[in-house]
């Protein structure tokens, strides 16, 4: 919780709470420095595959368009295949791989997304 509160107060981050009616169902965090990064995207499992993540990406795209930013990025665990499939579906292209760590949670892929 302390880490989350620090993120909310960080001026370089925008934290978006995703709600369905009055129920929080997820969030995403946008790092608004150069380059722009989606640093977190989370939806409760029962709300996945309903277009909500796609809407979050539209918000990020709009944010970038309003500021003349042509690309944004996100990292993904290299072993999280459902997330990778989603990022590919959103137009993401893998531009960097950091693999082979003893702790598999440290294996990361970096996706790049074009705004236009």
Spatial contact of 29 and 42, defined as CB atoms under 8 Å apart: no
The tally of domains found in the chain comes to 1
The whole-model pTM stands at 0.88
Determine the 3-state secondary structure of 11 from DSSP.
coil
67-112 per-position pLDDT tens digit: 999 999 999 999 999 999 999 999 999 999 999 999 999 999 999 9
pLDDT in tens, 5-26: 788 889 999 999 999 999 999 9
CATH number for the domain spanning 48: value is 3.40.630.30
Residue with tokens 């990022």: 87
Domain that holds residue 100: 2-114
Other Cβ atoms closer than 10 A to 23:
9
């Amino acid at each position: 919780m302390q880490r989350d509160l620090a993120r909310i107060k960080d001026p370089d981050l925008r934290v978006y709470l995703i709600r369905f009616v009055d129920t929080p169902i997820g969030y995403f965090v946008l790092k608004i420095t150069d380059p722009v990064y989606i640093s977190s995207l989370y939806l409760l499992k029962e709300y996945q595959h309903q277009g909500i993540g796609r809407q979050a990406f539209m918000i990020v795209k709009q944010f970038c368009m309003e500021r003349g930013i042509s690309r944004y990025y996100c990292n993904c665990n290299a072993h999280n295949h459902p997330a990778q499939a989603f990022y590919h579906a959103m137009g993401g292209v893998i531009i960097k791989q950091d693999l082979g760590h003893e702790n598999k949670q440290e294996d990361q892929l970096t996706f790049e997304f074009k705004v236009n």
